[in-house]
Amino acid sequence: MKIHDISFYIASFFIFGVLIASLKLSFSIIITIVGLAIVIFLFIGYFSAEGGSASGGKKSQKIIWLSALSLFIIIGAWYYFWWSNSQIKNFNIIFNEKINFQGVVIDEPERGNQQKLIISLKSSGSGKILIKLQQYPVFNYGDIIDFKGIIKKPEPASYADYLAKDGIFGVVSFPKTELIAENQGSKLKSTLFKFKEKVIVVFQKTLAPEKSAFLSGITLGERAEFSKEFKEAMNKSGTTHLVALSGYNITIIANTMMGLFIWVFSRRKSFVLSILVVSGFVLMTGAEASVVRAAIMGIIILLAGQVGRIYSFRNAIAIAAFLMVLFNPKILRFDIGFQLSFLALLGIVYLSPAIRKFFKMKDEPGFLLWRENLAATIGAQLAVAPLLMSAFGYFSFISFIPNILILGFMPLTMAVGFALGFLGLISYQLSVLLALFLNFFLSYEVFIIKFFGQFSGLEIKSFSLWLTAIYYLILITFIFRYKFPKKFL
């Protein structure tokens, strides 16, 4: 078996082990099931080799390799249990008592109708807590704050699991606060957050509120300024993914930086500097699952070009998922952003070409890439449909229409949006001129979102696990029926 195949199966089996452990199966049961599966596969491999044919020998060899690599399922399960136990040992929180405690804000605050701060306790215990506050006074990353309130355990269990993936085990609602000190966090993160705020201010100064909020969403993933009506319109029109940072943002940044740096530095130095810029962008935008996944895959693409190797999507997505799960195994089951990001990408890459072949669509992308966008949108929407239905109880069957009408303009909108943000830091007058040009595209895109946001979709009260399994089995069968891609396995 080739090294790239071994890498793929190690990553995949490790991730599968983490998944089954997150379903709360006991470690002994997991070892028993995997052990039996290995024995069965070894017997199959042995009898395949007994056939004597060359093809039988190769098949037997692959089965034996897969049997050995299946041990990584056990390693993945063990890692999940070890990581979870380590998480629990690292916090000491006093629950359900009115106490005074201090904490430092360790992430960028989430703003809107209220502030949400993630703090690390500095007194009266240890661990992370989510604090909900009024809009004012405004607190920032790195602030040390004195609180007086009651720390409670998150409820219900699903919400507790969602917070636990980030090591948050307590919540406090509207405690008394007093600022103790400022700028006590990482200088790098603080600088990046301030730079992001300056870019958002440029958008706010040069564009109408709704358009500046939308531009902040598609370029920086910032959704704090979205009105309730606009959020609902995006949900109903199936365009919420536009403000989830993706590979396109990373591609623009990576290629632009590589192109600029290579004029001054060697290719190797330009590669390193481009990775540093991409990493900075990830930190600045909150390191959401979609942008982390895109950044890892973008870096792999750059690395493949640097060392002269062929880029493999299958391996890139497996490695990206492996690295993210290694860093935090709980995101696999409890982070819907992680799940949506990977499922949508798989739908675009593997399901969209099968859809194009099924409908006998021409290879040409069409005007404003409408054929390509249609297939990609349908592929992504079909891939995430069960997750959207089970998580949000809602699914839009007409979402492909607004997506086709918008996606063709998004590359230019985002590229000009990035340019506006940087130009506004240099010259307000020039940024106003560029904003006039950008305003045409934003007006059109916001109109389409609001227009299609008037239509109701399908409301689903429940979407069972078995129905989900059958649904994805049908999709996989559809992909293989139209022979795309042959080399997936």
pLDDT for position 270? 81
Token couple for 425: 């830091």
Assigned fold of 92-185: OB fold (Dihydrolipoamide Acetyltransferase, E2P) (2.40.50)
Among 33-37, 47-51, 341-345, the minimum mean pLDDT is found in 47-51
In this structure, which long-range contacts are made by residues 436-439, counting pairs with CB atoms below 8 Å and at least 24 apart in sequence? 438/207, 438/215, 438/413, 439/207, 439/208, 439/211
Among all chains, which residue has been given the structure tokens 């704050």?
145
Mean pLDDT of the 373-400 span:
77
- Provide the β-strand partners of residue 219: none
**Residue 485 in this model has a pLDDT that exceeds 60:** no
| Full DSSP string of 149-212 | EE-B--SSHHHHHHHHTTTEEEEEES-EEEEEES--S-HHHHHHHHHHHHHHHHHHHHS-HHHH
Name, in order, each residue with C-beta under 8 angstroms of 462's C-beta and a sequence gap of 6 or more.
Answer: 390
Residues of the chain with pLDDT > 70: what percent?
86
Residues 63-74 pLDDT 10s: 777 778 888 999
Mean pLDDT of the 313-334 span:
86
Mean pLDDT of the 49-58 span:
55
SS3 123: coil
Reported as a pLDDT band with limits 50, 70 and 90, residue 479 is confident
Residues 158-200 pLDDT 10s: 888 888 888 899 999 999 999 999 888 888 888 888 888 999 9
Reported as a pLDDT band with limits 50, 70 and 90, residue 487 is very low
Helix (H) or strand (E) holding 94: none
Alpha-carbon distance 189 to 108, whole Å?
9
pLDDT for position 434? 93
SS3 293: helix
Burial of 468 per CB tally in 10 Å (0-12, 13-18, 19+): middle
Kindly report the backbone phi and psi dihedral angles of residue 425, in degrees, each rounded to the nearest multiple of 5, phi listed first: -75, -15
pLDDT for position 304? 64
**Residue 207 in this model has a pLDDT that exceeds 90:** yes
Q: Residue 456 in contact with residue 238, Cβ under 8 Å?
A: no
Alpha-carbon distance 32 to 105, whole Å?
44
Reported as a pLDDT band with limits 50, 70 and 90, residue 48 is low
Mean pLDDT of the 243-253 span:
67
Residues 146-160 pLDDT 10s: 999 999 999 888 888
Residues in the chain, total: 489
Mean pLDDT of the 390-404 span:
75
Alpha-carbon distance 32 to 34, whole Å?
6
Half-sphere exposure of 255 (CA within 13 A, CB side): 8
Residues 424-440 pLDDT 10s: 999 888 999 999 999 99
pLDDT for position 366? 64
Mean pLDDT of the 367-392 span:
76
Among 116-125, 196-205, 297-306, 420-429, the minimum mean pLDDT is found in 297-306
| Full DSSP string of 215-273 | HHHHHH---TT--HHHHHHHHHHT-GGGGS--HHHHHHHHHHHHHHHTTTS-HHHHHHH
Q: Residue 227 in contact with residue 243, Cβ under 8 Å?
A: no
- Provide the β-strand partners of residue 92: 126
Q: Are strands 128-133 and 125-126 parallel, antiparallel or unpaired?
A: unpaired
What mean pLDDT is reported for the chain? 82
Residues 346-365 pLDDT 10s: 888 888 888 888 888 777 76
Mean pLDDT of the 118-147 span:
90
Mean pLDDT of the 378-404 span:
78
Q: Model pTM greater than 0.85? A: no
pLDDT for position 250? 72
Among 81-90, 167-176, 262-271, 328-337, the minimum mean pLDDT is found in 262-271
Burial of 85 per CB tally in 10 Å (0-12, 13-18, 19+): exposed
Task: Give Rg (Cα) of the chain.
Answer: 25
SS3 449: helix
**Residue 381 in this model has a pLDDT that exceeds 90:** no
pLDDT for position 79? 95
Token couple for 329: 């195994």
Reported as a pLDDT band with limits 50, 70 and 90, residue 321 is confident
Token couple for 270: 């330009």
Reported as a pLDDT band with limits 50, 70 and 90, residue 118 is very high
Q: Are strands 144-150 and 125-126 parallel, antiparallel or unpaired?
A: unpaired
